[in-house]
A and B are shown apart, each in its own frame.
Chain A
């Protein structure tokens, strides 16, 4: 195996085109586990962690353009006001050491159904900016990014440059069920983002299907039921919302939990999230 350091973004794109089999490495918190356990033997590692262009975030036209190299720790420290749900999800990732290295772009490219950023990116309507040396930038809406268990829409010559996430225009929540308060892969997770200007609701469900999912029927239902001035919903409507979220999930039984437990827990998380949102009014 070879170790290739990309010194610039153009350098990285060119190398990825010439060597599609090279595995990009950012924070390394997924890649290195695979290497350490010999689960994967890429022909080369392509280190993206020195590329300056990837380390910044910027606000462009009402959205945060989050560079692929920004760590979870920085999302928490620098973006909790603009991207509250992403910061909440980031706080639950692994441990301080993992958050110091791990990135949202790495989370996306791994495309685990349990990736904690994913429900938030779905709920907020984020867009992945992929780029290739030959074809330039391609904008992939997150709801079309996940194509299967640990599969995503990236082509072999593409790298993620940034994730574009609309700045919060209303209350957002993220919650996750696991066996302890830190260092857990979600048994299931739920994110919700309200846009008070557009009066829309976004949702995301994690760890309860082959890919992260949005609960579209639940979103439409809540748009009609929510009192947009007080952010209140009737108890019956909240309960119905919970049921619709659970119905959108496609969970399986596995070591972390059963399908029926996951549906139950999602219903609880969704109803609770509405309660927290009411507290924001």
Chain B
């Protein structure tokens, strides 16, 4: 709790991990990249504007640059490194590849986490058939300098078209 460096224990992509001597003013982003060896979440702005550092903190997408490392003590943290498994890319990742939604790729880890969240919420029926404006709103915290977003939105459409996402019944189409 005190002292110069913190001993930080996280459940990182499902596995218990510990880092020692994490400086108290470090962000969760800094801890992930520099102390846990996970460079997937990107550091671009460090002020919450770009979303390239988005990770799941106890299941909620957050800008890891705006979470103090110590605030994540004991929490479950999910990063882009945890999306793929032995069988290959996750559906969301494959949707980005297929749609051509990746150019330089710097923004991609952040987008993937936000779209993964949308997919989970669609499966859990807490969101239903987003229209394009709602997709844009959901992606408002993620900047991309390359793609112009159109292909990103195509990728979201494809990711949300997965068979596990319940469709709106015929008649209430949209």
Residue numbers of A with Cβ under 8 A of B are 1-5, 25, 27-29, 31-33, 35-37, 41, 44-45, 47, 49, 94-98, 100-101, 181-183
User: Pick the contact of B67 from A3, A5, A28 — CB < 8 Å?
Assistant: A28
Give the chain B neighbours of A182 by CB distance below 8 A.
137, 140-141
* Interface residues of B, count at CB 8 A: 32
Give the chain A neighbours of B60 by CB distance below 8 A.
100
- B54 interface residue per 8 A CB criterion: yes
Q: When the two chains form their complex, are residues A95 and B141 in contact, meaning their CB atoms are under 8 A apart? A: yes
- CB-CB under 8 A for A98 and B48, given A5-B73, A33-B66, A36-B27: yes
- B6 interface residue per 8 A CB criterion: yes
Complex Cα–Cα for A94 and B47 (A) = 11
Residue numbers of B with Cβ under 8 A of A are 1-3, 6, 23-25, 27, 46-49, 51, 54, 60-63, 65-71, 73, 114, 137-138, 140-142
In the assembled complex, the CB of B30 is this many whole angstroms from the nearest CB of chain A, namely 9
Complex Cα–Cα for A101 and B61 (A) = 9
Q: When the two chains form their complex, are residues B71 and A49 in contact, meaning their CB atoms are under 8 A apart? A: yes
Ordered by A's residue number, 8 sampled pairs between the chains whose C-beta atoms are within 8 Å are A3-B6, A4-B2, A27-B66, A28-B68, A96-B61, A96-B141, A98-B141, A101-B63
In the assembled complex, the CB of A202 is this many whole angstroms from the nearest CB of chain B, namely 29
- CB-CB under 8 A for A101 and B141, given A3-B6, A33-B47, A95-B51: no
In the assembled complex, the CB of A98 is this many whole angstroms from the nearest CB of chain B, namely 6
Complex Cα–Cα for A4 and B25 (A) = 11
User: Pick the contact of B68 from A25, A97, A100, A183 — CB < 8 Å?
Assistant: A25
Residue picked from B27, B61, B62, B73, most chain A C-beta under 10 Å? B62
Q: When the two chains form their complex, are residues A33 and B24 in contact, meaning their CB atoms are under 8 A apart? A: no
Q: When the two chains form their complex, are residues A47 and B71 in contact, meaning their CB atoms are under 8 A apart? A: yes
Complex Cα–Cα for A97 and B114 (A) = 9
- CB-CB under 8 A for A183 and B66, given A3-B24, A32-B27, A96-B138: no
Which residue of chain B lies nearest to A25 when distances are taken between CB atoms in the complex?
A: B68
In the assembled complex, the CB of A29 is this many whole angstroms from the nearest CB of chain B, namely 5
Give the chain B neighbours of A27 by CB distance below 8 A.
66
Give the chain A neighbours of B142 by CB distance below 8 A.
95
Q: When the two chains form their complex, are residues B54 and A97 in contact, meaning their CB atoms are under 8 A apart? A: yes
Q: When the two chains form their complex, are residues B140 and A36 in contact, meaning their CB atoms are under 8 A apart? A: no
In the assembled complex, the CB of B23 is this many whole angstroms from the nearest CB of chain A, namely 8
In the assembled complex, the CB of A70 is this many whole angstroms from the nearest CB of chain B, namely 14
Complex Cα–Cα for A92 and B23 (A) = 33
4 nearest CB pairs, A to B: A95-B141, A182-B140, A3-B24, A3-B70
In the assembled complex, the CB of B7 is this many whole angstroms from the nearest CB of chain A, namely 11
Which residue of chain B lies nearest to A32 when distances are taken between CB atoms in the complex?
A: B66
Q: When the two chains form their complex, are residues A97 and B25 in contact, meaning their CB atoms are under 8 A apart? A: no
User: Pick the contact of A36 from B24, B47, B69, B114 — CB < 8 Å?
Assistant: B47
Q: When the two chains form their complex, are residues A5 and B1 in contact, meaning their CB atoms are under 8 A apart? A: yes
Q: A45-B24, A47-B68 are in contact. List 5 more A-B contacts (CB 8 A).
A: A45-B70, A94-B48, A96-B137, A97-B62, A181-B140
In the assembled complex, the CB of B34 is this many whole angstroms from the nearest CB of chain A, namely 14
Give the chain A neighbours of B51 by CB distance below 8 A.
95, 97
Q: When the two chains form their complex, are residues B66 and A28 in contact, meaning their CB atoms are under 8 A apart? A: yes
Q: When the two chains form their complex, are residues B67 and A94 in contact, meaning their CB atoms are under 8 A apart? A: no
Complex Cα–Cα for A29 and B47 (A) = 8
Residue picked from A1, A5, A32, most chain B C-beta under 10 Å? A32
Q: When the two chains form their complex, are residues A101 and B66 in contact, meaning their CB atoms are under 8 A apart? A: yes
